[in-house]
Amino acid sequence: MYRYNEIDQRLVDERVAQFRKQTERFLKGELSEDEFRPLRLRNGLYVQIHAPMLRVAGPYGLLNSKQIRKLAHIARKYDKNYCHFTTRQNIQYNWPKLEEVPDILEELASVQMHAIQTSGNCMRNTTSDHLAGVCVDEIEDPRPYCEIIRQWTTLHPEFDYLPRKFKIAVSGSQRDRAATQFHDIGLHLVKNETGEVGFRVLIGGGLGRTPVIGQVIKPYLEQQHLLSYLEAILRIYNLFGRRDNKYKARIKILVRETGLEKFNAMVEAEWQLIKDGMELSAERVAAVKTHFTPPPYEADADQNISFAEQLANNKAFATWYKYNTARHKMPGYQAVYLSLKAPDTPPGDMTDQQLDAVADLADQYSFGEIRVTHRQNLVFSDVKQGDLFALWQQLDGLKLATPNIGTATDMICCPGLDFCSLANAGSIGIAKEINAALDDMDYLHDIGELKINMSGCMNGCAHQSVGHIGILGVDKKGVEWYQITLGGSSENEAAIGERLGPAVAKHEVTNTITTILDVYVKQRLDDEPFLDMVNRVGIAPFKERVYENN
């Protein structure tokens, strides 16, 4: 993974000093709340119901064991012994004290981390595929480009006060695991006719109140023009994006109101004026790539004999292997998911003790690296087959081996009313209830691949509109109601879920979900996955059953 040089380190150190000064000025009354707000937001600090919330950047989801130990230490010393992993591969603390945040940032800087631009109307953490560099369907490893974009976006002087937040995602594989079609800019590594690797550029995707699937603005962009093209888009957006209404300020609205063709022409005109002046050199790309060379894999890792026996003799291990590991490009290795969706835990939360233990396990079994997935789980990307059994046993002891990755209880869920001042609904409580109703693992596995996403409000932090089943908390005269959608997807076949019908009451949500699953089980063809069935039959049969008593 990327290691800071002297310049990177100095930049984050100076950022800490700057924020310390800003916080002092605010506490002394030299900066008003309105003046301090955008500054603290650009350092990841929100003001929430109970306390400030601090969002720490997980650069394209990559962390090392030392950083994980630091996150544990921060949870212990400054928070209530836990933290939360988010859908944008970041880390959140729910209970820091404002006056201690500069100290927390200093602790983070000591392990090459920061909270720069994790909120506010600026360019956010670039996200990517959690299986980057190890998956079998990769065109090219996206991480070096993510790092180049990370550096370009960090403290960009011209684009720090945009009309609204701005998110970039990069995917390098056939299968899109980074939801690139739902980002302000989605970049897909592709090969042209001559076999060179460049980018297909999508523009104007997004979730939230107005979910939109991104459109292709450039089918093929040569690598050397990556940054100039991003700059052209950002300059047009900064100058012409709407600032009169924050709900219409994302680039998707500018693209829609301008029209893709005209927007494209504006970007193209701007780009032609700057592209030759800021080419990304092959040397620069090569230098960044040296940070992402493969770890020292063992050539005979697939010769292990005990692994096959363990699989054959231990059903629980075999189930975990089936659901919680993924194929690796190297024979004898697997990528392992650590499920942060144990039945009795808020989705995405981890305690300091789990974090410390995970850091040790990563050192022992996966070259000291940990990845955060956009479905709020962790990944050990490089585990030898022969180590899987021992790792599984230890993860099981840590409650990180629930074999539910990709199933109904692997829910994406926002913090909801329990922590967030925007929320209308207590998402965590509902998630717990659904979990309790789906506690039969055999049933869960029979249902198979199913993505349930639940957000506590229209802002859609948990991407409910692209869940196979989406659940959205809405407020009706002070009462929590829930809108259910079916058929969304953030992957290659991107789709926005269709609303099932009128919102259901809080106490009916779990029942509604189990009814939907029942319809699926009865009407599916052979091993047809849930999403395929919804696409085949539409929502009518589900709607009929869910509302039959109304």
Partner 1 sequence: MKIIKDNHIVDNGWHYIAEHDPLSTGDITVSLARWESEKAQLLNHTGKLGVRLVPGDAVAALAQDLNSIQLIELDFPDLADGRLFSLAWLLRGRYGYQGEIRATGRYVAEQVYYLSRVGVNAFAPQKQEDLPAIQACLSDFSVSYQPSIN
Minimum CB distance to partner 1 smaller for 56 or for 249: 249
Q: Is 287 in the site for partner 1 (CB under 8 A)?
A: no
Helix ranges restricted to H, 314-456:
315-324, 352-365, 385-397, 427-437, 441-447
Q: Is 224 in the site for partner 1 (CB under 8 A)?
A: no
* Size of interface with partner 1, in residues (CB under 8 A): 35
Q: Is 436 in the site for partner 1 (CB under 8 A)?
A: no
Close Cβ partners of 548 (under 8 Å, ≥ 6 residues apart): none
Q: Are 400 and 342 in contact (CB under 8 A)?
A: yes
Minimum CB distance to partner 1 smaller for 109 or for 494: 109
Q: Is 162 in the site for partner 1 (CB under 8 A)?
A: yes
Q: How would you label 62-89 residue by residue, b for 16+ Cβ within 10 Å and e otherwise?
A: bbbbebbbbbbebbbebbeebbbbbbbb
388 φ/ψ angles, rounded to the nearest 5 degrees:
-60, -40
Helix or strand or coil: residue 372?
A: strand
- Choosing from 94, 117, 151, 377, the residue that interacts with partner 1 (CB under 8 A) is 151
Residue 154 vs residues 214, 244, 412: alpha-carbon distances, Å: 24, 26, 28
Minimum CB distance to partner 1 smaller for 31 or for 342: 31
- Taking CB under 8 A as the binding criterion, the range among 14-22, 373-381, 382-390, 444-452 that sits at the site for partner 1 is 14-22
Q: Is 285 in the site for partner 1 (CB under 8 A)?
A: no
- Choosing from 30, 196, 257, 518, the residue that interacts with partner 1 (CB under 8 A) is 30
Residues of span 468-527 touching partner 1 by CB under 8 A: none
CB of 239 to partner 1, least distance (A): 5
Q: Is 156 in the site for partner 1 (CB under 8 A)?
A: yes
- Taking CB under 8 A as the binding criterion, the range among 71-79, 90-98, 154-162, 496-504 that sits at the site for partner 1 is 154-162
- Name beta bridge partners: 504: 482
Q: Is 121 in the site for partner 1 (CB under 8 A)?
A: yes
Q: Is 257 in the site for partner 1 (CB under 8 A)?
A: no
Close Cβ partners of 482 (under 8 Å, ≥ 6 residues apart): 425, 430, 471, 472, 473, 474, 503, 504, 505, 506, 509, 512
> How far is residue 388's CA from residue 318's CA, in Å, rounded to a whole number?
10
Q: Dump the DSSP string for 375-403.
A: TS-EEEEEEEHHHHHHHHHHHHHTT---S
Helix 315-324 and helix 385-397, axial crossing angle in degrees, nearest 10: 100
Q: Is 161 in the site for partner 1 (CB under 8 A)?
A: yes
CB of 234 to partner 1, least distance (A): 9
Minimum CB distance to partner 1 smaller for 100 or for 160: 160
Residues that bind partner 1 (CB under 8 A): 7, 10-11, 14-15, 17-18, 21-22, 25, 30-31, 35, 38-39, 121, 151-152, 154-163, 227, 235, 238-239, 243, 273, 278
